[in-house]
Structure 1
Amino acid sequence: MTDAPTEKPFFATKLATPPRLADAVSDVIATALFDGRITPGDPLPSEGEIAREFGVSKPIAREALRQLSGVGLIQTQRGKVARATAITGEPLDRIYGYAVRSSLTRLREANEMRHLFESGIARLASERRAEKGVQQMAKAARAMREGLGKAEQFIEADIAFHLGMAEATGNSMIRMQGEGLRSVQREVSELFSRRSNRTAEDWDRTVARHEALYAAIRDGNVEEAVRMIDDHYKAADIASFEVADQMETDDDD
């Protein structure tokens, strides 16, 4: 009589002794997701299989999967196996979206954060010039020019441009953070694009700034790219005061 063959462990990692076992289990699974051993769409082992492999209870395995689902790394559905999802900045995007819609103060803070973040992005993007991102910027700049005076088309192109800039760094974590800031950019862009006093010349200057920023990154002109980002946000700061004044006037009516 022979012993049954031993199944090969899925994760092949022994747990340390953490304050919470569920945290340790979710950390190991998340590592497998980030290093590509589990790719988007792949099924994960069942709760029972995870529990056996890690030597924990089913409730611990269930809690670990719940944590991963809560941050958008896996998709769970009652009665079906959990599956890996594409790793994006969507969870951050939802959080920032709630924040910037809560008050003008939070919106200003978020735009200040974007300025600091994108100054670094502009520098790195112009040094590395990852082809996919540079091409996305070029396409978005053309779409902005074609969308002059058309708020919704312009806003979508504006968002795509800044995501392209993050992509041009060649850094997946920066790309993810850029995706997480989409709701901030959308809120800012919608407010500024729909200002009642926005002229055709104002629209054109905004596009020209983006075109100049694209050219600086495409050509590897680091200092010019950083200067263009600073100019871009100076213009945004001026516009934000106009928006604030309008909003306060509306509230007083």
Structure 2
Amino acid sequence: MNTEPDRKPLFAARPASPARLADTVSDAIAAALFDGRIAPGEPLPPEGEIAREFGVSKPIAREALRQLTSAGLIFTQQGKVARAKALNGEPLEKIYGYAVRSSLTRLREANEMRRVIETGIARLASQRRDKAGMAAMQRALDEMQSGLGDAAAFTEADILFHVGLAMATGNSMIRVQMEGMRSVQREVSELFSRRANRSLADWAATIERHRTLYEAIADGDGARAEQAIAGHYEAADIASLEVTGKLKAEKGRGR
């Protein structure tokens, strides 16, 4: 006799095709995570229960959970049930980090990607002006000012500003994308810190460019926000050329 209590299926499971059993299971679990049926931090059912709901073996259920762990959607500990993670850009950040550290070419491509993406983000942020995002941007400006001349503190404030910019759109997927690009920002900032002639005036000018962008978004002026992004990246491009030239010169001298 079945002594288990009746329970409404959690994953809206559909019969899985033999060719992609684990994929079908992981897709259904991911859907439950994304639509909020399982909140961040909540446990998933045990492997055996997942296997029964989908009509698959425990090894298939285990492989589905492994896929979700690799994607950064759940976390597991030995001997414990898997738990849901909050959606974030950590998996993308790792990929971009590997890429930008591999060569200057990949770094330039990643920075170009940021420029293209953030232009659209700035316009959408100026339309929506989500309160949490605007507050994060304002806090970042304050932290940039207090971290003036401190490369590490300034970098973290800069990253917070751009994540806040994404949050201001009210779009969680855009936020995740910007979080994923934190490794790009960090690598660019570390390169810029190698500029021997970077003065406090340069740091202050960077703050002012960010402030101009913030004010355009706060005013709901999408065209001005796009212009501010363009100006910010134009200045960054000049610095990039300087850094690239320095690194090539160092490589030529065998450093």
TM-score by length of 1: 0.96
Larger mean CA deviation between 185-194 and 162-171 belongs to 185-194
**Residue 61 (str. 1) matches residue 61 (str. 2):** yes
| Shift >3 Å, 4+ stretches | 2-6
Mark the CA change 1:3 to 1:243 in structure 2 (over 3 Å): closer, same or farther.
closer
Q: Is the 8 A contact 1:93 1:179 kept in 2?
A: yes
- Tell me how far 1:3 sits from its aligned partner: 7.0
Q: Which residue of 1 aligns with 2:114?
A: 114
**CA–CA distance in structure 2, aligned partners of residues 57 and 185 of structure 1:** 44
Q: Which residue of 2 aligns with 1:36?
A: 36
Residues 136-194 of structure 1, C-alpha deviations (whole Å, 9 max, x = no match):
10110111122211111111110000000000000000000010000001111121134
User: Percent same amino acid at aligned positions?
Assistant: 64
**CA–CA distance in structure 1, aligned partners of residues 148 and 78 of structure 2:** 47
Q: Is the 8 A contact 2:216 2:222 kept in 1?
A: yes
Q: What pairs with 1:40-189 in structure 2 (closer than 5 Å)?
A: 40-189=40-189
User: Amino acid of the residue matched to residue 142 of structure 2?
Assistant: R
Q: Is the 8 A contact 2:89 2:180 kept in 1?
A: yes
TM-score by length of 2: 0.95
Q: Is the 8 A contact 1:209 1:228 kept in 2?
A: yes
Q: Which residue of 2 aligns with 1:7?
A: 6
Q: For structure 2, which runs of at least 5 residues remain unmatched after alignment?
A: none
User: Amino acid of the residue matched to residue 13 of structure 1?
Assistant: A
RMSD between superposed Cα atoms in Å = 1.4
Q: For structure 1, which runs of at least 5 residues remain unmatched after alignment?
A: none
User: Amino acid of the residue matched to residue 22 of structure 2?
Assistant: A
For residue 220 of structure 1, give the secondary structure of its aligned residue in structure 2. coil
**CA–CA distance in structure 2, aligned partners of residues 100 and 74 of structure 1:** 26
**CA–CA distance in structure 2, aligned partners of residues 18 and 242 of structure 1:** 56
**CA–CA distance in structure 1, aligned partners of residues 215 and 5 of structure 2:** 59
Q: Is the 8 A contact 1:18 1:24 kept in 2?
A: no
- Tell me how far 1:48 sits from its aligned partner: 0.8
For residue 217 of structure 2, give the secondary structure of its aligned residue in structure 1. helix
Q: Is the 8 A contact 1:128 1:168 kept in 2?
A: yes
- Tell me how far 1:4 sits from its aligned partner: 4.9
**CA–CA distance in structure 2, aligned partners of residues 168 and 194 of structure 1:** 32
- Tell me how far 1:7 sits from its aligned partner: 2.2
Q: Is the 8 A contact 1:132 1:168 kept in 2?
A: yes
For residue 76 of structure 2, give the secondary structure of its aligned residue in structure 1. strand
The number of residue pairs the alignment matches comes to: 252
Mark the CA change 1:18 to 1:223 in structure 2 (over 3 Å): closer, same or farther.
farther
Residues 184-213 of structure 1, C-alpha deviations (whole Å, 9 max, x = no match):
011111211341111222111111100100
For residue 81 of structure 1, give the secondary structure of its aligned residue in structure 2. coil
**CA–CA distance in structure 1, aligned partners of residues 140 and 15 of structure 2:** 46
